[in-house]
Amino acid sequence: MPVPVEAGGLWSGVAASARPLCETYRSLAGGDASVALVSSMHPAVIAFWLASPDPSQPEWERQRSALFASALAGEQWGTITSEPGSGGDLFKTRATAAPLDGESFLPGRAYAVTGDKHFGSGMGVTDRMITTAVAEGDDAPSIFVLDVSGRPWDGSAGLQLTAEWDGSGMAATQSHAMRLEGIPSVRMAWGGKIEAITRAAGPLVATLFTSVVLGVLDEAVGVARDQIRNRAAQLRPFEQVEWARAEQDHWLAVQAYEGALRAMESGEAALHAALRAKESTADLAEQTLLRLTRVLGGGTFSRRSPFAHWFEDVRALGFLRPPWGLAYDQLFTTSLE
Ligand SMILES: Cc1cc2nc3c(=O)[nH]c(=O)nc-3n(C[C@H](O)[C@H](O)[C@H](O)COP(=O)(O)OP(=O)(O)OC[C@H]3O[C@@H](n4cnc5c(N)ncnc54)[C@H](O)[C@@H]3O)c2cc1C
């Protein structure tokens, strides 16, 4: 879906293709939140190459074509960009990249990347992952593609598992922490500042993550409604109000998400709308799950209840890129543009 039509895929631009893409992840998340989140990283990463075509940069265009061919061939893309202590800010990376000689797995300059990373959702199922590092001689970070397919995690080939993922939500995402130790990688061939790329892709990336959590919320509200319908006559006034408010919050989250999609469809600069939708949905999803569990009772605390993991799954949205603090920095600046 994120491969352009001219390269053999279904993507015909953000205005036409963002909605069906996001709706797919929304549906998938109703079935399995972790599978949906890991899968959503694939278009979220490819979005960096999708959003900024530039025929005046032949190296960039060559790399874009190769990347789309890789996705079309079924290779799964992901990201292990986050670093402990960076607050999710790509530009606060402490990782480094040293040039390497020779050909690589993707058109572009080859490097060896070294640094500590965490939250690599999809480790073990992804073939390619992106990360950030500062290349030798540079004063600002660049984006690098890592070849992680089949690579061992014991430090023998540039990848050392430092902390196995044990998330109480999004439990099956395998978002492990890794030490990169000279791992072979290819530098993004974009000739300008990476802010231009991250900004262009930002609305789609934020809305993809919103769609995943909204899908969890849709399912949780649907399951709760079926349970509540069976005992509607016994609900106390407090429980009736909590249910009504949960439904209201869910409805508001849907409107926020629709607002982000409409902003992308209208062709306007959609970053502010997408961030507002992401942060609103993150708040509303947490509130909704809290209210649902109050109505449905203490049984929702049991690991056997899907509400126990949905409660934690929806909390991921606020931490996903851009995480809370950074999102509010960006909301403030984009509100005044
Ligand atoms: C379920 C899940 C899946 C994820 N999947 C991925 C993924 O696939 N790939 C990926 O790259 N990331 C992923 N992330 C990580 C996410 O994008 C954020 O980078 C991460 O949540 C930020 O972690 P933190 O808030 O603990 O930040 P930390 O960097 O550990 O910072 C901790 C706290 O200190 C503050 N802080 C620390 N240092 C600074 C600083 N220098 N400037 C500003 N504030 C600072 C932060 O605001 C934060 O509140 C995932 C996160 C979750 C929860």
Q: Whose CA is nearest to atom 48 of ligand 1?
A: 87
Q: Is 79 in the pocket of ligand 1 (CB under 6 A)?
A: yes
Which among 32, 79, 86 is the best mutation to test ligand 1's pocket, defined by most ligand atoms within 8 Å of the CB? 86
Both tokens of 13, joined, read: 């631009």
C-alpha neighbours within 13 Å on the C-beta side of residue 309: 18
pTM, two decimals, is 0.96
Taking the C-alpha atoms of residue 87 and residue 25, their distance in angstroms, rounded to an integer, is: 26
Q: Ligand 1 atom closest to Cα of 79? A: 9
- 8 Å CB contact between 143 and 188: yes
Strand partners, 161: 178
Taking the C-alpha atoms of residue 210 and residue 217, their distance in angstroms, rounded to an integer, is: 10
> Per residue in 10-47, pLDDT tens?
999 999 999 999 999 999 999 999 999 999 999 999 99
Instruction: Output the CA 256–ligand 1 centroid distance in Å.
Output: 24
Which pLDDT does position 267 carry in this prediction?
Answer: 83
> Per residue in 239-288, pLDDT tens?
999 999 999 999 999 999 999 999 999 988 899 999 999 999 999 999 99
Spans in the chain with pLDDT lower than 50 = none
Which pLDDT does position 102 carry in this prediction?
Answer: 86
Q: Residue 6: which residues within 8 A CB-CB, separation 6 or more?
A: none
Q: Is 130 in the pocket of ligand 1 (CB under 6 A)?
A: no
C-alpha neighbours within 13 Å on the C-beta side of residue 37: 27
Q: Whose CA is nearest to atom 46 of ligand 1?
A: 87
Which pLDDT does position 269 carry in this prediction?
Answer: 80
Which pLDDT does position 31 carry in this prediction?
Answer: 97
Q: Whose CA is nearest to atom 8 of ligand 1?
A: 121
